[in-house]
Structure 1
Amino acid sequence: MATPNIVWVTLDSVRADHTTMHGYRRDTTPELAALARDGVAFETCIAHSSRTPVSVPSMLTGTYPSRHGVGLGAGVCGRIPDTMATVPDILRDCGYTSVAVSRNVYAGEVTGLADRFDRFVSPTLRDDLLSYPFVRSLAKYGAAAHRHSGGLTLDKQRHPKSFLVSDVAKRVLAEETRGADSVFLYLHYNDPHRPYYPPASFRDRYTTEAGVDPDAALDFARDMHEHAYEYMAKGLPFSETQWEMLYAMYDAAIAYTDHCLGSLLTFIREQVGETIVVVTADHGELFGEYGLLGHHIVLDDAITHTPLVVSGCPELERAREDVVQHVDVMQTIVSMVGGDTSQFQGYDLRSECRPFAVSQDLRGTVVDPNRQDYERIRQHNPEFDTTPFHRSLLTTLRTNEFRLQHTDEWRKLHHLPDERTVVNDTYPDVYSDLTARLTAWLETYGQPYAESRTEESHSPRTRERLREMGYLE
């Protein structure tokens, strides 16, 4: 029997508690919720990190952050080791053609992932969009600009790209599924990422109920994006109305992305053969937790608890209520189609249960100290207190009830959902048990891949894209 096609969709910066499936006050993801009714919506999916350059390599290598090392060393990012296998490499040996459509450079050129796919398309690159048949997607985008763009402006950040991502993905699937090989498609939607700029047709979706002006909300979201570090340095002096502006724009960006996802899911259902579909997020987003914005520095549920829906794998129903991670889903799917998972560090969700989730991050080892998150905040307020935050590698172990945070400087146990109160002395047995588990994990699964890191070299266009996303100044 032919192996199924596999479509893995990553929604950038979408936290679980802002989605329909997780009981949010707004129906932001009706298309994803509909997919969940035909598949499995996992209650507790924990991302591997707070940032795309760490989380996506974990998804596509089946390994934990400290194993692949991308995004945890010197420089802006780093690349996947040349001799480390990726999912496209492994599935190629199973007869798959691998394709990626991504406008996030961390899910592409910067991390070295673009080179691993048989075909990689970036809907932000002129050369890609002006090539046949993608110029037709660009023409469709222009014809529907009143619904999918930010209006009459040359500012690229004001023009969401989810429509282009979906249309290009449909054209790629239509082409590649004509052949004999099954297709693995990785798709990355970036519009929920700051600066939360939904198209004109979605701009007022939530502003009326919030009692805010849509244009004012859009301007404030842009201002927050451009001055995020300054605002954090000042203690986030936002009024209730300003917070509602940010929520309205963020939620509208999620809703627009979900709308575009829906058109892709309809296409798959009606015109593509048997397909396993995975929809998740690489990380969440902070709205004042720990006095922070964006996805920086900390690893709590606002950042790590992400939506996860899998369709086409009814065997995964047994794990719906378990703590799961992306490496588990990838391990399960690759195993199902006969791929070599010997490198992978996940659990096969058809038969295994994960005892705890592990997330990792490291800020403060970049070459230029002025690019460090802490220093970018302290430039605006030298008295900003960084003592609660990590200086060395932060590794967190999360169960359904507790989260243990570990660095070289400290360990902190939290009883969920409270992630500020330290309860090391309140639950000494739990603290001792989880500390032992985490220590054992760090000494085994957490050890780095043996090969030295491949140095990064970014093109001018890539560096421009990183600046647009707020990663470079």
Structure 2
Amino acid sequence: MADARKRQSRPHADGGYDRDTTPAIRQLAEEDDATAFENCFAHSMWTPASSASIFTGTYLSDHGVGKEGTGMRKLPPDLTTLPALLADEGYRTACLSPNGYLSSANGLDRGFEDFYWLSKNLGDGGVADLLKYGLNLGSHEGRPLNEKTRALAKYALNVRSHGPGFTLDRNRHNLSYVTTEMAKQWTSKAANGDDPFFLYAHVGNPHHPYCPPRRARDRFRDSLPVPMDEAIALSLDLYGSADRIQRLNAHGSQLTPEQWETIETLYDTEISYADDCVREIVNHVRALNGDTIVVVTADHGECFGEYGLVGHNLALHDALTHVPLVVAGADLDCDGDELVQHVDVTRTIASILGCDHDQFRGYDLRTETRDYCLSQRGRADFDEFFAVNPEFNTELLHEQPFSAIRTREFKYLESEGKSQLFELPDEETDVSDEQPEAVEELSAVADDWVDWTAAETDEAEFTDEMKEQLADLGYL
């Protein structure tokens, strides 16, 4: 699963995209038993809420992870997860996560027999630790090498190609190579047993700040208006902390055309490296067991100026919620142009594997279709942005928790005391007065699907290392 958005800008004459960013995923989508869904919409615009929806088959207003806007709440104890149900059916289950918002801290490890939270931080024996103190390939701090340490050691040995070269700057490193190597190790071990297995691998590239590994940097270098070192320095300057991202957004993200081209090219380069990782994992797993269902998707996208924003915060614009989805090995018999969401994938996979559950709110893609998609965002703190810029523009934004009900034609946004209707692809002109019937219809859907009054869950318990990692990712 990659942190990539389905890009809508830079259209090609044939209706596609003029940079070949995902050849491996495209090849997977073209297989006879695969379906590429062109209209998949994530349930939120960031990792904790979207991941909780994927695992539980429920919406943000059901599971509450991210409702308060900070991701600092746990998954409710009464919700089960797809990996838990599969474990009950005899599956070995594992998750690889390079993001503290997808961890034991908020309960998203529920149901995984093996859960690996990966870190670049010194306190966790991560990448910087290995680079600073050197490698002992026989042991690590006196312990035998496990999958994590072996993968970290291999990354350190290959840091000049799969990383930024030798540097202790954590923001320049990525954990996608480590995730890939661990996925290969874990599936090899699982395949040696008699039990079926379920692996959830979260490939963190691309995620701001954008610093693509060296082996990928030449792919779109000709499109960069500045040298690569200057481009990466700009990315680190713009996205290096939550305060910097907040300041940029508070002022409407007023970048020059050259700066926009620079960061979008870096982003595309990161996507192409994530595609490499997908190829490695899928090919390895299929060599072990050809009878495997493969799902490739993303938990959210990125803004590059939509609503004057960068990153993934505040809004539910299609730039953030329209994501890729390919399902291979399941023979869904779908056209691929259906409206679809992650809860549908959860429901369908559970049904195929014999562990469907009443909790799941999705549709079985083999037999059902949906007319509406639901994406949600928790509370926002506008005061933080007004403190930076008293003229911060909130006309198209919602401070209270809000829902986006999307059809093929319209997107309806609703929060307490505020609503808007957009006629797609325009997401800036409110047409509520011109389309009262659409407002009535979609408001009724929101009333039927959404209940924000769910009880608050326990506070998440993040370690200092997790908080450092979230700060590196621009969250704290």
Q: TM-score, normalised by structure 1?
A: 0.90
The answer for unaligned runs of 5 or more in structure 2 is 128-139
Deviations 1:138-183 (A, max 9, x none): 2322232221111221011211221111010000001112112111
Deviating more after overlay: 275-284 vs 175-184: 175-184
Q: Could you tell me how far 1:72 is from its partner in structure 2?
A: 0.3
Q: Could you tell me how far 1:13 is from its partner in structure 2?
A: 4.2
2:427 to 419, 431, 446: 419
User: Matches of residues 314-463 of structure 1 in structure 2 within 5 Å?
Assistant: 314-315=331-332, 317-364=333-380, 372=381, 374-442=382-450, 446=451, 452-463=456-467
Q: Is the 8 A contact 1:80 1:111 kept in 2?
A: yes
Deviations 1:230-267 (A, max 9, x none): 22233323111111110111111111111122111111
1:102 is the counterpart of 2:97? yes
AA matched with 1:332: T
Q: Secondary structure at the match of 2:320?
A: helix
Within 1, Cα distance between the matches of 2:239 and 2:215? 21
1:238 is the counterpart of 2:255? yes
1:305 is the counterpart of 2:322? yes
Q: Is the 8 A contact 1:92 1:98 kept in 2?
A: yes
Q: Secondary structure at the match of 1:106?
A: coil
Within 2, Cα distance between the matches of 1:405 and 1:327? 20
Q: Is the 8 A contact 1:204 1:214 kept in 2?
A: no
Within 2, Cα distance between the matches of 1:424 and 1:120? 46
For 2:292, the equivalent position in structure 1 comes to: 275
Q: Could you tell me how far 1:319 is from its partner in structure 2?
A: 4.9
1:191 is the counterpart of 2:193? no
Q: Is the 8 A contact 2:159 2:166 kept in 1?
A: no
1:64 is the counterpart of 2:55? no
Q: Is the 8 A contact 2:208 2:311 kept in 1?
A: yes
Q: Could you tell me how far 1:74 is from its partner in structure 2?
A: 6.9
Deviations 1:291-324 (A, max 9, x none): 0110111111101000000001112x32511110
User: Matches of residues 86-235 of structure 1 in structure 2 within 5 Å?
Assistant: 86-124=81-119, 126=124, 130=140, 131-226=145-240, 227-235=244-252
Within 2, Cα distance between the matches of 1:22 and 1:139? 43
For 2:130, the equivalent position in structure 1 comes to: none
Q: Secondary structure at the match of 1:45?
A: strand
Q: Secondary structure at the match of 2:284?
A: helix
2:30 to 33, 37, 58: 37
Q: Is the 8 A contact 1:397 1:434 kept in 2?
A: yes
Deviations 1:401-441 (A, max 9, x none): 11111111222111100010111122222222222222222
The answer for unaligned runs of 5 or more in structure 1 is 1-9, 365-371
Within 2, Cα distance between the matches of 1:385 and 1:18? 23
1:262 to 279, 303, 315: 279
Within 2, Cα distance between the matches of 1:305 and 1:328? 15
AA matched with 2:261: E
Q: Could you tell me how far 1:209 is from its partner in structure 2?
A: 2.6
For 2:80, the equivalent position in structure 1 comes to: 85
AA matched with 1:471: Y
AA matched with 1:187: A
Within 2, Cα distance between the matches of 1:320 and 1:75? 34
Going from structure 1 to structure 2, the CA distance change for 1:87 and 1:111 (only over 3 Å counts) comes to: same
Q: Secondary structure at the match of 1:11?
A: coil
Within 2, Cα distance between the matches of 1:390 and 1:55? 19
What percent identity do the matched residue pairs reach? Answer: 38
AA matched with 1:342: D
Q: Could you tell me how far 1:124 is from its partner in structure 2?
A: 1.8
Q: Is the 8 A contact 2:209 2:236 kept in 1?
A: yes
1:469 to 466, 470, 473: 473
Within 1, Cα distance between the matches of 2:151 and 2:21? 25
Within 2, Cα distance between the matches of 1:33 and 1:340? 29
Within 1, Cα distance between the matches of 2:5 and 2:433? 34
AA matched with 1:358: L
Deviations 1:178-203 (A, max 9, x none): 11211111110112110011012222
Deviating more after overlay: 32-41 vs 208-217: 208-217
RMSD value over aligned CA atoms?
A: 2.1
1:23 is the counterpart of 2:43? no
Q: Secondary structure at the match of 2:101?
A: helix
Deviating more after overlay: 281-290 vs 255-264: 255-264
Q: Is the 8 A contact 2:5 2:322 kept in 1?
A: no
Number of residue pairs the alignment of both structures matches:
450
Within 1, Cα distance between the matches of 2:38 and 2:234? 33
Q: Secondary structure at the match of 1:275?
A: coil
Q: Could you tell me how far 1:27 is from its partner in structure 2?
A: 0.6
For 1:6, the equivalent position in structure 2 comes to: none
Deviating more after overlay: 133-142 vs 322-331: 133-142
Q: Is the 8 A contact 2:208 2:239 kept in 1?
A: yes
Q: Is the 8 A contact 2:216 2:269 kept in 1?
A: yes
Q: Secondary structure at the match of 2:161?
A: helix
Q: Could you tell me how far 1:18 is from its partner in structure 2?
A: 7.3
Q: Is the 8 A contact 2:5 2:324 kept in 1?
A: yes
Deviations 1:92-111 (A, max 9, x none): 12111110011111121232
Q: Could you tell me how far 1:452 is from its partner in structure 2?
A: 4.9
Within 2, Cα distance between the matches of 1:440 and 1:164? 43
Q: TM-score, normalised by structure 2?
A: 0.90
AA matched with 1:362: G
AA matched with 2:359: Q
